[in-house]
Amino acid sequence: MPVDKRVSARSDAEVRRIAERTKAEFGVSRNRPVDILRYIESGSVLTIYGRKKLIFIVVDDAELGALDAKTEFAKGVVTITCKRSVRDRARMGVGRDRMTLAHELAHGVLHHSVPMFRVIGASGISDLAQESAHTSAEHQAKVFAAAFLIHDEDAAKMASAEDISEQFVVSLQAAQICFDRLQRVAKRQQSGERIRKIADEAIAVIKESKPQQYLDYPCTACRLTKLIQLGTKVRCQNCGFFGDRFQDGDKAE
């Protein structure tokens, strides 16, 4: 079970928007796969608390013990420390380790003050995330990491979670969560389109069945109030007269 901390509430949609902003800041909005190491080593990051110096430190595995990585904060500085094995596997394209680095970058962008840790083999949902996902630091970081490494627009065109995992080089678990979410979005869109189509058809039927609206003065030919407006002319639905409508003061008595 991952170590978790309560943080300021943010919806998943808001976290994904912040991840998209961060991708744009790093210039990786269309890169596939995203080179997470290049950007975590960039030396600077725009966080929700302003731009900060970003320090990336790689240490021998024994130094972090039960942790894969950690993120710490000082005034104007975010420091991400990870095991050498995590860095090396991420460089080789191991999805889970790439997610670990993106996860720590998420903490650096979204959070501050207390250190954040990623325990070896961390998976599942913390008690805090189950209770209140929007206030869970781990849940927010998980959402951010997936959004940073996976481009929704491209992933939405893919046929399976396996395709997403392979194309974006992320863990299958993260790919499955993304795939399921995009499937739900697509179904809502299809449902919305069906509802709009039904509404448009209903409006068309109402318009077709609406009684004809006649002008409030009679036809000069048959004297019945059966005139309809056609542009600048009028037509009588009774006798077929077609011509100019009366000018003000010229209505037949």
Backbone angles phi, psi at 63, to 5 degrees: -65, -30
What whole-number distance in Å separates Cα of residue 96 and Cα of residue 113? Answer: 26
- Average pLDDT of span 125-136: 70
What whole-number distance in Å separates Cα of residue 135 and Cα of residue 7? Answer: 5
- Average pLDDT of span 69-93: 95
Domains present along the chain, CATH in parentheses: 12-149 (1.10.10), 213-246 (no CATH)
Query: Residues with Cβ < 8 Å from 180, sequence gap 6 or more?
Result: 161
Share of the chain above pLDDT 70, in %: 83
- Average pLDDT of span 83-112: 95
Q: Reduce the DSSP state of residue 214 to 3 states and report it.
A: coil
Confidence of residue 34 (pLDDT cuts 50, 70, 90): very high
* pLDDT at residue 190 in the model: 79
Task: Name the residue with higher pLDDT: 10 or 124.
Answer: 10
* pLDDT at residue 209 in the model: 58
- For residue 68, how many other CB atoms are within 10 A of its CB? 22
- Average pLDDT of span 203-219: 71
Q: Is pLDDT above 50 for 94?
A: yes
Element (H, E) at 63: helix 61-64
Confidence of residue 230 (pLDDT cuts 50, 70, 90): confident
Share of the chain above pLDDT 90, in %: 51
pTM for the model stands at 0.70
List residues bridging with 130 in a β-sheet. none
Query: Residues with Cβ < 8 Å from 130, sequence gap 6 or more?
Result: none
List residues bridging with 233 in a β-sheet. 230, 244
Pairing between β-strand 50-59 and β-strand 67-74 as defined by DSSP bridges:
unpaired
Element (H, E) at 168: helix 161-168
Backbone angles phi, psi at 106, to 5 degrees: -60, -45
What confidence tens digit (pLDDT) does each residue in 145-171 have? 999 999 999 999 999 999 999 999 999
Judged by average pLDDT, the poorest of 105-109, 133-137, 184-188, 203-207 is 203-207
Give the mean pLDDT of the chain: 85
Q: Both tokens of residue 87?
A: 């860095």
Q: Both tokens of residue 116?
A: 């954040």
* pLDDT at residue 248 in the model: 45
Q: Are 7 and 128 in contact (CB under 8 A)?
A: no
* pLDDT at residue 176 in the model: 92
* pLDDT at residue 62 in the model: 95
Task: Name the residue with higher pLDDT: 115 or 219.
Answer: 219
What confidence tens digit (pLDDT) does each residue in 102-129 have? 999 999 999 987 666 665 555 556 565 5
Q: Reduce the DSSP state of residue 230 to 3 states and report it.
A: strand
What whole-number distance in Å separates Cα of residue 112 and Cα of residue 195? Answer: 44
